């Protein structure tokens, strides 16, 4: 499989506090990869490092052959990485349509029809102000906004945050379509069951280090995962 994102020996710090150590990670083309781990493990920090929102150092941090090290947030967006941040960070006073259009700002993409196809609920609410929508709908807008720039990789932080399980399922079910159409997915998720069921591969992050990685199915069957995250055994 062709790799789009490749990271070797990445570390990151906030001031003098190191939060990520020697992280190795890759994401293949059209692949869904999950990143799981307990609170404070550094999942958000890793995504922020990858999108340039936090500084980091790495031996290799490249995307489709382009070196990401030292690039600004905007330059990393240009390379084709979309980041749906923790907390979604929608423009709350703007409508769904305007939020989506801003997602396509860089690529001059104003056509929201593909997003509406993926999330039909947004079709009826296209003129609604985002701040007044339910959490699930807001998450759909956030992911849709990320997709508007037609990225090769979309990184989604805490997809399920604050959402009911049925809503999470509804959104997660769309991820394979997104991946199949050429946008790889790097999913940070607290709901380990959902994350490992959807993804092809996964990484387990604990206190800033990758402690396990492999095929999602194998991790799901691993007793250590079952005990620590799934409450089995």
Partner 1 sequence: MTGFLQAVAYGLLQGGLLALVAVGFSLVWGVMNVVNLSHGAFVVLGAYVGLLVNQRLGLDPFLGMFVAAVALFALGYVVQRFVINLVVNGPIFITLLLTFGLELLLTQGMNIAFTANYQGIQTTYAGTSFAVAGVQIPVGRLLAFVLSVVVTVALVAVMNRTRVGMSIMATGMDRGAARLMGIRARHVYALTFGIAAGLAGMAGTMIGMVGTFNPASAGGFTLLSFVIAVLGGLGNMYGALAGGMLIGLVQALGGYFLSGTWVNALAFLVLILVLMFRPSGLVGKAFYSARLEV
Q: Name the strand (E) or helix (H) holding 200.
A: none
Nearer residue to partner 1 within complex by CB, 47 or 192 = 47
What CA–CA distance (Å, rounded) separates 209 from 219? 17
Query: 37 touches which of partner 1, Mg ion, ligand ATP, none (CB within 5 to 8 A by kind)?
Result: ligand ATP
Does 138 sit near Mg ion (CB under 5 A)? Answer: no
Does 80 sit near ligand ATP (CB under 6 A)? Answer: no
User: Given the rule CB under 8 A, which residues bind partner 1?
Assistant: 51, 53, 72-74, 77-78, 82-83, 85, 89-94, 98, 101-103, 105-106, 145, 149
What CA–CA distance (Å, rounded) separates 49 from 55? 6
Q: State the helix-helix crossing angle for 96-103 and 135-147, rounded to 10 degrees.
A: 30
What burial class does residue 120 get, using C-beta atoms within 10 Å of its C-beta: 0-12 exposed, 13-18 middle, 19+ buried? exposed
Does 43 sit near ligand ATP (CB under 6 A)? Answer: yes
Q: Which residue has the tokens 């999602």?
A: 216
Does 44 sit near Mg ion (CB under 5 A)? Answer: yes
Smallest separation (angstroms) from partner 1 to the CB of 189: 19
Where on the chain is the footprint of ligand ATP (CB under 6 A)? 14, 17, 19, 37, 39-45
């Amino acid at each position: 499989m062709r790799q789009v994102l490749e990271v070797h020996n990445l570390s990151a710090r906030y001031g003098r506090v190191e939060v990520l150590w020697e992280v190795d990670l890759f994401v293949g083309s059209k692949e869904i990869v999950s990143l799981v781990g307990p609170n404070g493990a550094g999942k958000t920090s890793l995504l922020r490092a990858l999108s340039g929102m936090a500084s980091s150092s790495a031996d290799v941090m490249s995307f489709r052959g382009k070196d990401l090290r030292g690039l600004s947030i905007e330059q990393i967006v240009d390379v084709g990485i979309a980041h749906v941040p923790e907390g979604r960070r929608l423009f709350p006073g703007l409508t769904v349509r305007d939020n989506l259009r801003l997602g396509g700002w860089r690529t001059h993409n104003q056509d929201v029809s593909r997003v509406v196809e993926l999330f039909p609920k947004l079709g009826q609410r296209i003129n609604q102000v985002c701040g007044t929508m339910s959490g699930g709908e807001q998450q759909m807008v956030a992911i849709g906004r990320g997709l508007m720039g037609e990225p090769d990789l979309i990184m989604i932080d805490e997809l399920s945050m604050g959402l009911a399980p049925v809503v999470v399922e509804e959104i997660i079910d769309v991820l394979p379509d997104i991946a199949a159409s050429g946008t790889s997915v790097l999913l940070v998720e607290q709901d380990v069951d959902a994350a490992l069921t959807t993804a092809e591969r996964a990484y387990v992050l604990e206190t800033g280090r990758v402690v396990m990685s492999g095929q999602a199915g194998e991790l799901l069957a691993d007793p250590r995962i079952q005990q620590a995250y799934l409450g089995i055994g």
